[in-house]
Structure 1
Amino acid sequence: MSDHRALVLDEVRKYHAEQSGGGGPFVPGVTEIWPSGAVLDESDRLALVEAALDLRIAAGSISRRFESSFARLLKQRKAHLTNSGSSANLLALTTLTSPLLEDERLRPGDEVVTVAAGFPTTVNPILQNGMVPVFVDIDIPTYNATAERVAEAIGPRTRAIMMAHTLGNPFQAREIAELAEAHGLFLIEDNCDAVGSSYDGRATGSFGDLSTVSFYPAHHVTMGEGGCVLTSSPALARIVESLRDWGRDCWCEPGESDTCRKRFQYQLGTLPEGYDHKYAFSHIGYNLKTTDLQAALGLSQLARIDEFGAARRRNWSRLRDALDGTPHLILPEPTPLSDPSWFGFVITLAHDAPFARPELVRFLENRRIGTRQLFAGNLTRQPAYAGQRFRISGSLDNSDIVTERTFWVGVYPGLTDEMIDYVASSVREFVEGART
């Protein structure tokens, strides 16, 4: 390390110490309690500055290192970084439309089973590829669909299942993967909220043909923006890479040439023989790559993933214990056989509650306790989906309950015991006051 570089990094350490010392004590009702957020330390700041000093402004060696490390973590063969978790979902679903899959490929009009109570970007790629979402309901208090509900939704046009693990709580991943295999369906796991969770002793994100992750600041590890598509199928991984990288057929890393040792020996389509393989395109693709700057932060964060997961579990359990027995509240439960790395703590008001959700939410927000809806609630009731083609399997009664009576608060690692206790006492105070 050069003297100048060492000097810069030493000054960064000093700067970080100065910036980290002024937060002050927690003041109930004054200090903001966010529902989610990034937890960044000195190593994260140093990682970003070091990458900046090296002018790592595009995807390169740091991105590849992260992809390898992350694939090993989730026990998958390949990971491909993207610019967001939403892009990862689009990329995963679009991968299954590739002509390289021949008769197995998904086509417009095919059905994809998904969950009605979720985040739009789990469902949007289905519509964006001209397919038909088949919406199933969830169970409360796990907030996930079951294998039975998915099985009931499968029809003659069904070709895939695309579902998210809700707020870090795994769905029945093994049973649904077995169901997909029995019916010849693809399975995409939206693992954006659940990195570090497990089901039946196996990491979420390792059950599907493809899985996706988000590295937005709200999530378990962050790159600021960013996402990832993972798979253990070399064939699917090749398609993911092509679609992410403009649709090109070449698999050379940026800045490299002739990895295959026959760059000018291909004949594809009606291109002339010997056309430069770096400029041959086999898919209608995108540019969804990320940068080494973001990957550097991701690598730094990845070293703390066990610490972050332990904090999320600890905060969730502390809040669950403190609210246990509070009347008029339906408290969350982990899916049997699961060990969630919780994204949030979800609360549903009982049907006989003498107060409405907006009243409780306003009370908490006035105390600087951040709340969030359970994403879009019942997606079929959202304006964006009016006029869209979809099918509903069974009733969506619980999705409607979520739309009308559910919200969640934070358990992310940046929250202290004092903050968690204040959230719990505030909820109890409101409920007790509403009963008198």
Structure 2
Amino acid sequence: MDAMKLREEILALTKNYCEAKQTQEDSAFEPGKSRINYAGRVYGLEEMTNLVDAALEFWLTAGRYTREFETGLAKFLGLKRALFVNSGSSANLLAFMTLTSPLLGERRIRRGDEVITVAAGFPTTVAPIVQFGAIPVFVDVDLATANVDVTQLEPALSERTRAVMLAHTLGNPFRIDAVKEFCKRHDLWLIEDNCDALGSKYAGRLTGTWGDIGTSSFYPPHHMTTGEGGAVYTDDPLLAKIALSLRDWGRDCSCASGEDNRCGHRFTGKFGTLPEGYDHKYVYSHFGYNLKATDLQAAVGCAQLARLDEFTRRRRENFDYLYEQLKDLPELSLFKAEPESEPSWFGFLMTLTGEAHFTRNELVAHLERHGIQTRNLFAGNLTRHPCFETLKEGVDYRISGALTNTDKLMNDAFWIGVYPGMTREKLDYMIREIRSFCNANGGEQP
């Protein structure tokens, strides 16, 4: 039988399988018995069909789906270049290391330079700074938004400051106008960790596009998924060139996988002290990595990207519904957005107030017992974790001011899910359990 016809039949059967599988998975929700995860992948026959199609092609590494996905993501963001990588953590590593390149001259980040960030977040925003040998400078956050307190930026500045690296907490954009102005005034790089906020906007502009370089994660709980996966994106051609080199082993060549001699000088160039005409595909301008993802992942990403606007809408609706139903509880302070922002929420953050006659862990334990998955605000205060025990404050890292609000979030905050697969029935159940616990432990709400 003709291979193309077989392929068409396989893809048609894949569609049938996906429809049958989803019908089976869409079982009725049973309050108290069914588990409500904080997040999960939401997909359909397009993702499954693309994945099988890529598998049948068996290119495996970056190929046509990767090119389509990178082009589509860059277009969605309104930027010139997006690079697909194997995780959001790799994206943060690649973004930071891009700014250490000798090609940037005097603006490059060097070992011993300082980078302003926060401790209330996920560790891979900070890890590349420490791993390179730069010095993270931690400032406190605003309690209502869980984002950087922009009034703490100037006090944290020193003659060694070279960059600011910050995440939009749980999809909630930080005061990026103030951060951008601070960076511009002091000639600092801005790395925008957009891993929890793809689709969010600030002042009408998508997050991830304000900084010199932005990052995304496509791990299953995130705003869209490729399984494992992430991206680095920028409007700066030089930063894009450096990031591409570092992602692809540090090579000087920009040929795509399977491509040769794009520059037309593969065997005629002169590089370093190499012999003239040394094969350009094996010339290295950086000490790089292999951070590429596969075409199978990109195939899923192409279908997910088409759903992103709908995912964003549903995340906002779910968050708004939870907020309206829980805002009157005096025991809980609910997540707030800046006036000019339109968050694509990653989670619904709650922090205990002085009115609470219980601990965060007691409330969380109650919810978990009743099948509601919860999460703390990631590291809480990263500087209190075992990974900092071998680091010396004032030498390997610096804390500017007091991390009072950071510690408050570490002790008293948690969040639940708002992802697109969350049904109204599940939201109502979570609301009932939160309200009933608060009522039973000193609250006055029905």
TM-score, normalised via structure 1 length: 0.99
One-letter amino acid matched to 1:398: N
1:112 corresponds to? 115
Matched, 1:394 2:390: no
1:409 corresponds to? 416
Extract unaligned runs of 5+ from structure 1. Answer: none
1:11 corresponds to? 13
- The CA deviation at 1:266 is 1.3
1:240 corresponds to? 243
Of 126, 130, 140, 1:127 maps to 130
1:211 corresponds to? 214
- The CA deviation at 1:147 is 2.5
Distance in 2, Cα, partners of 1:311 & 1:189 = 24
Of 344, 348, 351, 1:348 maps to 351
Answer yes or no: is the 8 Å Cα contact 1:89–1:121 preserved in 2.
Answer: yes
- The CA deviation at 1:350 is 0.9
1:421-436 maps to which residues of 2 (within 5 A)?
Answer: 421-435=428-442
1:215-364 maps to which residues of 2 (within 5 A)?
Answer: 215-364=218-367
**DSSP 3-state at the match of 2:432:** helix
Distance in 1, Cα, partners of 2:300 & 2:98 = 27
**DSSP 3-state at the match of 1:287:** coil
Distance in 1, Cα, partners of 2:221 & 2:231 = 15
User: Structure 1 residues 11-20 or 135-144, which shifts more?
Assistant: 11-20
Answer yes or no: is the 8 Å Cα contact 1:110–1:157 preserved in 2.
Answer: yes
Answer yes or no: is the 8 Å Cα contact 2:86–2:292 preserved in 1.
Answer: yes
Distance in 1, Cα, partners of 2:114 & 2:177 = 21
Distance in 1, Cα, partners of 2:256 & 2:333 = 51
Of 405, 427, 444, 1:420 maps to 427
User: Structure 1 residues 53-62 or 246-255, which shifts more?
Assistant: 53-62
- The CA deviation at 1:415 is 0.5
User: Structure 1 residues 81-90 or 382-391, which shifts more?
Assistant: 382-391
- The CA deviation at 1:119 is 0.3
Matched, 1:35 2:38: yes
Matched, 1:166 2:173: no
Answer yes or no: is the 8 Å Cα contact 2:139–2:149 preserved in 1.
Answer: no
**DSSP 3-state at the match of 1:303:** helix
Of 370, 374, 383, 1:371 maps to 374
Answer yes or no: is the 8 Å Cα contact 1:109–1:130 preserved in 2.
Answer: yes
1:76-87 maps to which residues of 2 (within 5 A)?
Answer: 76-87=79-90
Distance in 2, Cα, partners of 1:78 & 1:147 = 29
Distance in 1, Cα, partners of 2:125 & 2:347 = 18
- The CA deviation at 1:411 is 0.2
Deviations 1:16-39 (A, max 9, x none): 122111232111011111101110
One-letter amino acid matched to 1:198: K
Query: Aligned-pair RMSD on alpha carbons?
Result: 1.0
One-letter amino acid matched to 1:432: N
Distance in 1, Cα, partners of 2:436 & 2:225 = 34
1:152-163 maps to which residues of 2 (within 5 A)?
Answer: 152-163=155-166
One-letter amino acid matched to 2:13: E
Distance in 2, Cα, partners of 1:51 & 1:193 = 27
- The CA deviation at 1:155 is 1.1
- The CA deviation at 1:336 is 2.0
Deviations 1:120-154 (A, max 9, x none): 00000000110000001111111101322222211
Deviations 1:360-410 (A, max 9, x none): 001000111000010000111111112321111111001101111010000
Matched, 1:44 2:47: yes
- The CA deviation at 1:194 is 0.4
Distance in 1, Cα, partners of 2:28 & 2:91 = 39
Extract unaligned runs of 5+ from structure 2. Answer: none
- The CA deviation at 1:2 is 2.6
Distance in 2, Cα, partners of 1:153 & 1:9 = 56
One-letter amino acid matched to 1:132: I
Answer yes or no: is the 8 Å Cα contact 2:330–2:355 preserved in 1.
Answer: no
2:76 corresponds to? 73
Answer yes or no: is the 8 Å Cα contact 1:67–1:81 preserved in 2.
Answer: yes
One-letter amino acid matched to 2:19: A
- The CA deviation at 1:329 is 0.6
1:147 corresponds to? 150
Answer yes or no: is the 8 Å Cα contact 1:108–1:131 preserved in 2.
Answer: yes
Distance in 1, Cα, partners of 2:350 & 2:326 = 10
User: Structure 1 residues 67-76 or 286-295, which shifts more?
Assistant: 67-76
- The CA deviation at 1:270 is 1.0
- The CA deviation at 1:353 is 1.4
One-letter amino acid matched to 2:5: D
One-letter amino acid matched to 1:408: W
One-letter amino acid matched to 2:251: R
User: Structure 1 residues 306-315 or 54-63, which shifts more?
Assistant: 54-63
- The CA deviation at 1:334 is 0.8
Of 90, 103, 107, 1:100 maps to 103
**DSSP 3-state at the match of 1:150:** helix
Residues paired across the two proteins, number:
436
One-letter amino acid matched to 1:14: N
TM-score, normalised via structure 2 length: 0.96
- The CA deviation at 1:93 is 0.5
One-letter amino acid matched to 1:262: H
